Amino acid sequence: MADPQGKSQDLGAIIKKHRPSLSPYEDIYRQFHSHPELSTLEVETASSIHSHLGAMGDYEIKKDIGGHGTAAILRNGDGPTLLLRADIDGLPVLEKSGLAYASKARMRDTNGIEQPVMHACGHDMHITALLAAAQLLHSARSEWAGTLVLVFQPAEEKGVGAQSMIDDGLYTRHGVPEPDVVIGAHVMPERAGRVGVRPKVMMATADSMKITLHGRGGHASQPHMTIDPVVMAAYAVTRLQTVVGREVAPNDPAVVTVSSIHAGDAENIIAEYAELKLNVRTFDEGKHPSYWQCRGRDLMSLVVRNNILAGIKRIVQSECDASGASKSPEYASISSFPITHNDPQITTTLSKSMSDYFGDSFNPSFGPLNGSEDFSILGTAIGKPTCFWVYGGVDPATYDDLEKKGKLNEVPVNHSAYFAPVIQPTLTVAVDGYALSALTWLLKK
């Protein structure tokens, strides 16, 4: 589609005129923060979203898409179709923020295991901001023309929510119009008030997997009668640290993290097996099916990602052979996230609007980020361009003090038990950013 022409100077006036009072939305945010739900289990979260959207009127609400996903459609005459997305799931994290509205929630996950739950990645801010932007854009209907689609996506943390919505017929069976442009946003451990984006690669691809190493159990006093999977795992973990340092070119960003290791339960028993959980991040462009699900296919196009995953498999197998493992290691994919690629033309257009509106607080070359997202699937599944931008959530005074002391590494990051965006100015920036994104394409010419 053609780039929007002119009138960027009008967007700020429209946003300020139609932005609703955010005081009620601050309370809505606290409510979402206090009542998070795990991936694929977002029943009450989705119900609350439906209630807030329904109270606005005019939005056509599509429920239970790909699980607990929601799409809201506002048709406003002829024009482009623009999709804004927010994710809605929490994480199995025990909150330690000390906030008066901190989550005390616990719930059973899909395996039946009770877990603490926290919005440790800021999805509560995403939900609230998109709801407020929905009201703003509804109020500003006389200023724009086209179709606005709001998607509240479940199960982002598992990397399955966007694909589940597509597979469930988001744009077919559920009748959601195909967008011309797909835009998403995320709160980050950056100074509140700041906004950033970049063309091309914005976020990394990610693969998480479980590897099971098989030994032979027995009494701790008779190690010669066993094959110890703990020793096997220890050598594998140590050697895996060399994959990035010795098998990846220094100018190719990559991360290999062994984030979990478990074997046995008693101090006097050598275990039968050990389990490792790994997370791999790379910046290869293109679509990347899970390595463990596409063995035998041509993987040469996956470049760095392929080499790392193949190196992991080679090292693990070698350590198992060296230990005389009872059988070959087993691999299971936990999740796989695609690259988050920002369409250059779309990003240039959005950057112009953001630069005009946010001024020096806008960074047009932010990142790229090692984090990962499944957001882009909402566009790439139908061949439409996507753009993903970020905004800060750290109290400005706190951020400035830590920066002055050279201690920015102490800022709580996403997925931390202490991650808690300051409500303002974070919420205002997020609402304005969502509205700005929509009006950039939908503003009447």
Question: Which residues does the annotation mark as catalytic?
Answer: 89, 156
In Å, how far are 250, 334, 382 from 209, measured between CA atoms? 24, 5, 28
DSSP string for 151-163: EEE--TTTT-HHH
Amino acid at 352: K
In Å, how far are 63, 288, 305, 311, 330 from 256, measured between CA atoms? 38, 17, 11, 11, 18
Q: For residue 40, give the nearest of 164, 123, 131 by alpha carbon.
A: 164
DSSP string for 132-195: HHHHHHHHTGGGB-EEEEEEEE--TTTT-HHHHHHHTTTTTTT-PPPPSEEEEEEEEEEETT-E
Residues ≥6 apart with Cβ < 8 Å to 192 = 391, 392, 393, 394, 395, 396, 399, 421, 422, 424, 425, 426, 429
Beta bridge partners of 205: 282
In Å, how far are 14, 20, 389, 425 from 431, measured between CA atoms? 13, 10, 13, 10
What is d(CA 289, CA 118) in angstroms, rounded to the nearest whole number? 30
DSSP string for 188-253: EEEETT-EE--SEEEE-EEEEEEEEEE-B-EETT-GGGSB-HHHHHHHHHHHHTHHHHHHS-TTS-
Number of other residues whose CB lies within 10 A of the CB of residue 259: 9
What is d(CA 387, CA 181) in angstroms, rounded to the nearest whole number? 8
